[in-house]
Structure 1
Amino acid sequence: MARTAAPRGRGRPRAGEELDVSRLLAGALDAFADKGYDGMSVRELSRRLGVSHALLTARFGSKEGLWFAAMEYALAWLESSWRQLAETPELDDLEALRQGIIRQVSFSAAHPQVSRIMSHEGAIDSARVRFVVDRFVNPLRALVEERLDRLIADGRIRSMPYATLHYLVVQGAAAPFACPVEAGLLGAAQPSGPDDVRRHAETVADLLIAGLSSLPPLPLDAPGEGH
């Protein structure tokens, strides 16, 4: 009587077995978010991911190569989403900005590891932080600024430094997901499902849009004020 193969448990792939790359990249995000790039050794990465050091090196080249691949895996959908909004000319500029903020915050809820990783990386100059900025942030910034510039020129929003808007959305709005312990101590309940995430994202978007749309008052000595 033929034996039935035992269920496959977690562990290193057998010779010739295909790697589940998406699982490895998701696991790498978790690992780098927990300890940062420098704090995560290749040995511990291998242990966490259930593959040998040799397999990781063969697939990604190095620990840094795995870091790049994991961030590319996480950020590719977000890049596509922002581009779709930026390149939809029939969508009103202000609504496109609102939808982009909602999508960014929703992404942060789904991938809190990215915010944690960038908190590690953003404080030091390295090829890794430059990779994220050059590969994702700056190309998308150019697309977003096209709409922002039109809104400012039309008098619909106030001017704001791009970095200010970036950090309010990317880091500030993501903080409840990236820092759940601190958020809990502040009395913030963790979102229990997509509806909660959507409400948080829409609240953030509406507050930011309202603030941008509230044009600052003219100075008292402005021309036309009768002084």
Structure 2
Amino acid sequence: METFAELGYDRTSARELARRLGVSHNFINDRYGSKANFWRAVVDSLLAEDQRQRQQLLQAEVDDAERVRAVIVHFYQVAVEAPLVGRLLADEFGQESERLDYLYERYVAPTLELLAPAVERLMAAGRMRTVPMDVLFFAVISPVAALVQLPLAHRLGRPQPVTRESQLRTARELANLIADGLLSRS
């Protein structure tokens, strides 16, 4: 994940991956068949638990507003726990590719499929601002930059050193700001 997040998929070679893993230069192709298959295996291994937890949140018997809030909080907590995932996703979400298709079909669409009915009910009841799903999605995911772009955050006044606890506090503050804004009417 570190290599893909740091270099981007296109600049990451199977040879570079093998070097960083300390394995033979043939390892990726021998074991996974291709760099693309290896990328999918890395992404799946890192997002599997997140996906499981998010599915539980989306299927919990709670008020729709609490469901939306819980998913937002969870998203930012994951960004704290796995900041490289956020960097990788930001890179992949910005370009047309089979990887974007894979991420969308495997992770984004299943989440939206379960979240959309709650969002639609909240909007219809006047409990949530009425916005298109793409606007809502970007309103939630874009602020993750506050959790993964630490050099800029420091220049904007975030104290150093950054700890897991301070990042989780920032994630909670960010989630509350976004959720409160979405779930209020004006």
TM over 0.5: yes
1:118 is matched with 89
The letter for the 1-side match of 2:153 is A
Larger Cα-atom Rg: 1
Residue 186, structure 1, aligned to residue 156, structure 2 = yes
- Which structure has more RCO (C-alpha within 8 Å, separation ≥ 6)? 2
Q: Partner of 2:172: helix, strand, or coil?
A: helix
CA shift digits 1:124-155 (9 cap, x unpaired): 21101110011110111011111111212222
Count of residue correspondences = 185
Q: Is residue 58 of structure 1 aligned with residue 22 of structure 2?
A: no
- The answer on 1:85 being equivalent to 2:57 is yes
Return the TM-score normalized by structure 1.
Answer: 0.76
Q: Identity across aligned pairs (percent)?
A: 34
**Is contact 2:146–2:153 with CA below 8 Å preserved after alignment?**
yes
- The within-5 A match list for 1:143-162 is 143-162=114-133
Instruction: Specify which structure has the higher proportion of helix.
Output: 2
CA contact (8 A) 2:72 2:179 kept: no
Q: Which amino acid aligns with 1:80?
A: R
Are the counterparts in 2 of residues 105 and 169 from structure 1 also a CA contact under 8 Å?
no
Q: Please say if 1:127 is aligned against 2:95.
A: no
Cα distance in structure 2, aligned partners of 1:108 and 1:34: 16
Look up the SS of the partner of 1:184 in the other structure.
helix
SS at match of 1:38: coil
Deviation at 1:31, TM superposition (A): 0.2
Report the alpha carbon displacement of residue 177 of structure 1 after superposing the two structures with TM: 3.0
After TM superposition, give the deviation of residue 103 of structure 1 in Å: 0.8
Deviation at 1:160, TM superposition (A): 1.9
TM-score of the two chains, using structure 2 as the length reference? 0.91
1:177 and 1:168 map into 2 onto residues whose CA distance is 15
CA distance in 2, matches of 1:107, 1:205: 12
> Which of structure 1's runs of 4+ aligned residues deviate more than 3 A?
none
Letter in 2 for 1:165: L
User: Does residue 1:204 correspond to 2:168, yes or no?
Assistant: no
Cα drift, residue 207 of structure 1? 1.6
Residue 111 of structure 1: how far off its partner (Å)? 1.3
Q: What is the aligned counterpart of 2:146 among 176, 199, 205?
A: 176
Secondary structure of the equivalent of 1:187?
coil
